[in-house]
Amino acid sequence: MTSSCSSMASGSTDDSMSFDELKTLLECPVCMEMSSPPIYNCQVGHIICYNCQRRVKKCPVCREEFKGCRNFIAEKLAEKCLRKCKYQEDGCNTRVKVSALQQHEAACEYRPMKCHIGSCGQMVPFMKYFDHLGKFHRIFAAADNTHFWEREMFVYDIKRLVKDGARNPFAMTCYNNNFLQFMQVDDQTVWIWVALCGLEKDAEGFKAKIVIANKAKNLEIQWTGPVHSARKTGSEVYTTGLCLITTGNGLKNYMEQVGRKYVWSMTINISQISDSESKVDTDSDDYYDSDVDELEPYNFPVREDSDEDDDFE
């Protein structure tokens, strides 16, 4: 959304008439909605919207017949009038001409998103996605006000790591936002990324450092790169290449057998990108090499169901 799209205050300064002025003029006398092209009128000149014109024979105002006359002036006025996006309640303040409304709403950044956790597939109001994760997937933020998080992960059977596919994300709250750490696995590949429960443009204000370590062997891999929007599916993220990508076999190098478990440690460090840094091309090496401030590891609270959710069992 650009600022020019939202200049809809009454008595607006550009060539668009105010919504309220035009809305009254263009109200269909049958459905009381603002008419959109094509707009028709009766023999006398009262307008009616396309849908209602198909259903009524006579003008509800003067009882004259409709004979299929288009009202091009009304249509031009309707075209001038900026319409509210239907996701206004979800946060979109965009106003666009009626001809562009459908296209905008189809791509609106506040449109509902499809939950891609497991086989859920529910369409969820975008700004309520984090609530959905708690309600339907029992995913809750691990901690408040920390952007550094260390997590011990384990599997009982290494072979199942690549067989079991995607895991539920792990959530953390910091910088007044909710973030999710996703890990997706297919036959060969493991990809790990951090997503913001929010807009792509807001996600651009953050970067994430992901470190997988085997402390006993003193081995680690690390990756620093962009935070994605939670709207993106795993394959969309994978296609960008902007995530930690390794293989099931690669990951085994970082695992340590502890009793029956194969354990490795993963840390996530989320930081805000400064204004000057945000202008850096994300393809440049500088972006990925930039160091993230190190903090003391945070010991995230163990949840009741952590045994089931945190491993690959």
Which residues contact Zn ion (rule: CB under 5 A)? 28, 30-31, 42, 44, 46, 49, 52, 59, 61-62, 64, 85, 87, 92, 94, 108, 115, 117, 120, 122, 136
Residue closer to Zn ion (CB basis): 57 or 260: 57
Residue closer to Zn ion (CB basis): 230 or 255: 230
Taking the complex as a whole, how short is the minimal distance between the CB of residue 225 and Zn ion, in angstroms? 26
Residue closer to Zn ion (CB basis): 49 or 210: 49
Question: 283 vs 76, 225, 242, 280, 288, CA distance in Å?
Answer: 45, 10, 10, 8, 8
Taking the complex as a whole, how short is the minimal distance between the CB of residue 303 and Zn ion, in angstroms? 18
Taking the complex as a whole, how short is the minimal distance between the CB of residue 294 and Zn ion, in angstroms? 34
Query: What DSSP line would sit under 90-123, residue for residue?
Result: GT---EEEHHHHHHHHHH-TTS-EE--STT---E
Taking the complex as a whole, how short is the minimal distance between the CB of residue 235 and Zn ion, in angstroms? 17
Cα–Cα distance between 116 and 231 in angstroms, integer? 9
Cα–Cα distance between 171 and 194 in angstroms, integer? 9
Distance of CA 258 to the CA centre of its chain: 38
Q: Token digits for 98?
A: 């009626």
Quick check: helix, strand or coil at residue 259? coil
Cα–Cα distance between 75 and 167 in angstroms, integer? 52
Residue closer to Zn ion (CB basis): 95 or 209: 95
Residue closer to Zn ion (CB basis): 39 or 212: 39
Residue entry with tokens 């609106």: 108
Taking the complex as a whole, how short is the minimal distance between the CB of residue 131 and Zn ion, in angstroms? 11
Residue closer to Zn ion (CB basis): 138 or 159: 138
Q: Token digits for 223?
A: 């990756």
Cα–Cα distance between 288 and 286 in angstroms, integer? 6
Taking the complex as a whole, how short is the minimal distance between the CB of residue 42 and Zn ion, in angstroms? 3
Sign, Cα dihedral of 271, 277, 282, 287 = negative
Taking the complex as a whole, how short is the minimal distance between the CB of residue 293 and Zn ion, in angstroms? 33
Question: 94 vs 73, 88, 217, CA distance in Å?
Answer: 25, 8, 54
Residue closer to Zn ion (CB basis): 161 or 171: 171
